[in-house]
Structure formats: C-alpha cells, structure tokens
Structure 1
C-alpha cells in the first residue's frame, strides 16, 4: 500500500511539473548583420512552430538598433508578424541614448529596457534559456 501511495504521489507531482513547464527563451541580438538578423527571424519561427506557447523575448542592443527602427529596418514586416505571435522585442535605452534615437523611431509594439545586457541577466535569473541570435 505504501508503494502505491508513493507511486501515486510521484506521478501527480511529475504531471504538475510538466503542466507548469512553459518554454521561456531570451534571444540576444547585437549585430547589424542582415544575414544574422534574418537568421533570428527564422529561429523565432522555428521555435514558435514547434512550441507555439513559448515565451520569447528578443533583446536588441548595440549594432542591432537599426533592426528595430521604423525607417531603417529591413525586417519590419517580419518583426510585426513576430509581435503578433507573442514575441517581445526589448530595445536597450542605453544604445538608443548613445545613438540619439527616440522611442518614436522604434517599431511600435517594442518595449524598452534600461540596459540590454542587464535584461538578459534578469531573464536568465528568472528561468529563461539564453540564445545568441544569428548563426
């Protein structure tokens, strides 16, 4: 009887853990290289096709700022589609300040974080898996 109770408790706890298990991923994009940016979009689509309910944040900083700029982004349509699928794009205010870029110049729907690298650390501390975008 004790073995049956122990097995039942084990199975219930395993199912509860699996039910809570949502994939959380933070991507870092810090390059202006358009091929690597295109690779990021493919990676996002691949992950979302496999895990449609994954929680994904892309932290954009440094050389990747133009990727998120309304008038300069070559990936604007793909970014908008990713936003519709629930991807969060977090743009580094430090990078924006250094380049004198205002919020109004960034694709609508993005969020802003004080320091891109610190945002990545915070996400990892909160259980997100880290992926450096590109190839």
Structure 2
C-alpha cells in the first residue's frame, strides 16, 4: 500500500507517553500501511524512551511495525544522558524542535496530547 498519510506525535511530558503510544497504535490499526508515524521527544519526554524505562518493549514492538522514534540531542545532553541510554531503535536527532519543523514541512500531521 502507498503511504497516504503522515503523523507526527510530539512528546514533551513522560506522563503522556502511554496515551501517545496508544493513539499511535489506534492510528496504525485503522490506517495500516497507509500511514507513516513518528514520535519526537524532547525535554522531559526523552525520559520515556530510556532503556531502563517502562516503555522499552512498546518502543521495540512499534519500531518493528515501522514507527520511527526520535529524541532530541540537546535534551539528552542537558539531562546528562548518553546515546547508549536509549535503545538502538530510537534515533537521536540534533534538535527535537527542528525535527518537528522539518516533518511539518513534509506534510506530517502534528499531534500533541
């Protein structure tokens, strides 16, 4: 199936991680291969994707379904985390906000819960 839709989830609070992941799962269930999904975390949101976090299995499983996860390098540096603190399936981007701007310019629907 051809990608017809793109969705970008913006995560800034770890407390909203479960809701964002469930909403992304619902979107994938409804639209299947017709949607491309990315979750971008910065600020406190990067903590949700730590290897020691409660969502590590969700991130792995959703990555296998094609969901892209990205964390902000500025945020992880400010919080004194390192690349090795995150699963390999999570990409570190130079700036979370810049990633969001780029994706919106590429016609991704912006979603923030």
TM-score range relative to shorter protein? over 0.9
TM-score (norm 2): 0.93
TM-score (norm 1): 0.78
Name the Cα RMSD after superposition: 1.4
Q: Structure 1 segments of 4 or more deviating over 6 A?
A: none
- Superposed counterparts of 1:50-129, under 5 Å: 50-53=30-33, 54-71=35-52, 73-129=53-109
Per-residue CA deviations over 1:87-117 (Å, capped at 9, x if unaligned) read 0001100001101111111022111111101
Give the gaps of 5 or more residues in structure 1: 1-18
Computing the radius of gyration from Cα coordinates, the structure with the larger value is 1
Per-residue CA deviations over 1:31-72 (Å, capped at 9, x if unaligned) read 021xx211111101100001111111100110111111101x
Give the gaps of 5 or more residues in structure 2: none
What is the number of equivalent residue pairs in this alignment? Answer: 112
**1:119, 1:37 → 2: CA distance?**
18
> In the alignment, does 2:1 pair up with 1:39?
no
